[in-house]
Amino acid sequence: MRVEIFCDGACSGNPGVGGWGSILRYGDKVKELSGAEGETTNNRMEMSAAIQALEALTRPCEVVVTTDSQYLAKGMTEWLSGWVKRGWVNSKKEPVLNRDLWEKLLALAKMHRITWVWVRGHNGHVENERCDELARAAIDSYRAGAGR
Protein backbone atom coordinates (compact mmCIF):
# COMPACT_ATOMS: atom_id res chain seq x y z
CA MET A 1 0.00 0.00 0.00
CA ARG A 2 1.65 3.25 -1.20
CA VAL A 3 0.29 6.57 0.03
CA GLU A 4 1.35 10.01 -1.12
CA ILE A 5 1.22 12.84 1.41
CA PHE A 6 1.66 16.49 0.56
CA CYS A 7 1.91 18.97 3.41
CA ASP A 8 2.49 22.63 4.14
CA GLY A 9 2.33 25.02 7.04
CA ALA A 10 1.84 28.76 7.28
CA CYS A 11 2.06 31.33 10.02
CA SER A 12 0.76 34.89 10.23
CA GLY A 13 3.55 36.35 12.29
CA ASN A 14 6.28 34.01 13.48
CA PRO A 15 5.24 33.33 16.17
CA GLY A 16 1.61 34.01 15.46
CA VAL A 17 -1.55 32.26 14.38
CA GLY A 18 -0.55 29.26 12.29
CA GLY A 19 -2.26 26.82 10.00
CA TRP A 20 -1.39 23.57 8.32
CA GLY A 21 -2.77 21.67 5.36
CA SER A 22 -2.23 18.12 4.09
CA ILE A 23 -3.38 16.00 1.20
CA LEU A 24 -3.36 12.20 1.35
CA ARG A 25 -3.63 10.28 -1.90
CA TYR A 26 -4.04 6.54 -2.26
CA GLY A 27 -4.79 5.54 -5.84
CA ASP A 28 -7.74 7.65 -6.91
CA LYS A 29 -8.81 8.44 -3.33
CA VAL A 30 -7.89 11.88 -1.99
CA LYS A 31 -8.39 13.29 1.50
CA GLU A 32 -7.64 16.85 2.58
CA LEU A 33 -6.90 17.81 6.20
CA SER A 34 -6.23 21.16 7.82
CA GLY A 35 -6.08 22.86 11.18
CA ALA A 36 -4.80 25.91 13.02
CA GLU A 37 -3.29 27.00 16.33
CA GLY A 38 -2.73 30.32 18.05
CA GLU A 39 0.76 31.50 18.98
CA THR A 40 2.84 28.99 17.10
CA THR A 41 5.63 29.02 14.51
CA ASN A 42 5.87 28.18 10.85
CA ASN A 43 8.16 25.22 11.58
CA ARG A 44 5.66 23.76 14.06
CA MET A 45 2.91 24.07 11.45
CA GLU A 46 5.04 22.37 8.78
CA MET A 47 5.64 19.51 11.21
CA SER A 48 2.00 19.39 12.32
CA ALA A 49 0.86 18.99 8.72
CA ALA A 50 3.01 15.88 8.34
CA ILE A 51 2.05 14.50 11.76
CA GLN A 52 -1.68 14.89 11.19
CA ALA A 53 -1.48 13.24 7.79
CA LEU A 54 0.60 10.32 9.07
CA GLU A 55 -1.72 9.88 12.05
CA ALA A 56 -4.66 9.60 9.62
CA LEU A 57 -3.20 6.39 8.18
CA THR A 58 -4.96 3.32 9.57
CA ARG A 59 -2.23 0.74 8.93
CA PRO A 60 1.49 0.60 8.14
CA CYS A 61 2.18 1.92 4.65
CA GLU A 62 4.84 2.86 2.20
CA VAL A 63 4.59 6.65 2.23
CA VAL A 64 6.07 9.45 0.19
CA VAL A 65 5.82 12.75 2.06
CA THR A 66 6.33 15.85 -0.08
CA THR A 67 7.04 19.13 1.72
CA ASP A 68 8.43 22.54 0.89
CA SER A 69 10.02 22.71 4.34
CA GLN A 70 13.74 22.02 4.33
CA TYR A 71 13.55 22.08 8.13
CA LEU A 72 11.14 19.13 8.07
CA ALA A 73 12.78 17.22 5.22
CA LYS A 74 16.36 17.63 6.45
CA GLY A 75 15.29 17.11 10.04
CA MET A 76 13.85 13.71 9.19
CA THR A 77 16.56 12.59 6.76
CA GLU A 78 19.77 14.21 8.04
CA TRP A 79 19.54 15.63 11.55
CA LEU A 80 17.21 13.46 13.62
CA SER A 81 19.51 10.51 14.22
CA GLY A 82 22.29 12.82 15.48
CA TRP A 83 19.91 14.65 17.80
CA VAL A 84 18.76 11.38 19.31
CA LYS A 85 22.36 10.12 19.74
CA ARG A 86 23.33 13.39 21.44
CA GLY A 87 20.34 13.33 23.78
CA TRP A 88 18.26 15.90 21.85
CA VAL A 89 21.05 18.44 21.61
CA ASN A 90 21.87 20.02 18.25
CA SER A 91 25.31 20.57 16.72
CA LYS A 92 25.59 23.88 18.62
CA LYS A 93 25.09 21.95 21.88
CA GLU A 94 21.68 23.60 22.38
CA PRO A 95 18.39 21.80 23.07
CA VAL A 96 16.59 20.81 19.87
CA LEU A 97 13.62 23.05 19.18
CA ASN A 98 10.23 21.38 18.73
CA ARG A 99 11.41 18.17 20.35
CA ASP A 100 7.83 17.15 21.16
CA LEU A 101 6.92 17.15 17.47
CA TRP A 102 10.18 15.49 16.38
CA GLU A 103 9.46 12.69 18.84
CA LYS A 104 5.96 12.24 17.35
CA LEU A 105 7.43 12.14 13.86
CA LEU A 106 10.06 9.63 14.96
CA ALA A 107 7.37 7.34 16.40
CA LEU A 108 5.28 7.64 13.22
CA ALA A 109 8.33 6.96 11.06
CA LYS A 110 8.80 3.66 12.88
CA MET A 111 5.28 2.62 11.86
CA HIS A 112 5.69 3.33 8.14
CA ARG A 113 8.33 3.25 5.41
CA ILE A 114 8.61 6.94 4.62
CA THR A 115 10.45 8.71 1.85
CA TRP A 116 10.79 12.44 2.42
CA VAL A 117 10.79 14.66 -0.69
CA TRP A 118 11.51 18.38 -0.70
CA VAL A 119 10.02 20.68 -3.36
CA ARG A 120 10.50 24.41 -3.76
CA GLY A 121 7.53 26.23 -2.26
CA HIS A 122 5.28 28.55 -4.26
CA ASN A 123 6.73 27.22 -7.47
CA GLY A 124 3.64 25.83 -9.18
CA HIS A 125 3.58 22.38 -7.55
CA VAL A 126 -0.19 21.74 -7.62
CA GLU A 127 -0.50 19.78 -4.39
CA ASN A 128 1.90 22.04 -2.51
CA GLU A 129 -0.07 25.10 -3.60
CA ARG A 130 -3.32 23.44 -2.47
CA CYS A 131 -1.82 22.60 0.93
CA ASP A 132 -0.80 26.25 1.29
CA GLU A 133 -4.40 27.27 0.50
CA LEU A 134 -5.69 24.84 3.13
CA ALA A 135 -3.25 26.18 5.74
CA ARG A 136 -4.14 29.82 5.04
CA ALA A 137 -7.86 29.06 5.08
CA ALA A 138 -7.39 27.37 8.47
CA ILE A 139 -5.72 30.54 9.78
CA ASP A 140 -8.63 32.63 8.50
CA SER A 141 -11.14 30.26 10.06
CA TYR A 142 -9.28 30.30 13.38
CA ARG A 143 -9.25 34.09 13.42
CA ALA A 144 -12.96 34.21 12.62
CA GLY A 145 -13.69 32.04 15.68
CA ALA A 146 -14.91 33.43 18.97
CA GLY A 147 -12.47 35.92 20.44
CA ARG A 148 -9.55 34.96 18.24
Binding residues: 8, 46, 68, 132
Q: Of these residues, 4, 37, 68, 127, which one is catalytic?
A: 68
Angle separating helix axes 126-144 and 42-55, nearest 10 degrees: 110
122 is catalytic: yes
Q: Of these residues, 4, 37, 127, 132, which one is catalytic?
A: 132
Which uninterrupted H or E stretch holds 34?
strand 29-40
Known binding residues for Mg(2+): 8, 46, 68, 132
68 is catalytic: yes
Q: Which of 130, 145, 114, 115 is nearest to 34 (CA)?
A: 130
133 is catalytic: no
DSSP helix/strand/coil, 50? helix
Q: Of these residues, 21, 46, 75, 112, which one is catalytic?
A: 46
129 is catalytic: no
21 is catalytic: no
DSSP helix/strand/coil, 57? coil
Q: Of these residues, 38, 62, 78, 122, which one is catalytic?
A: 122
Question: Could you give the residue numbers annotated as active site?
Answer: 8-9, 46, 68, 122, 132
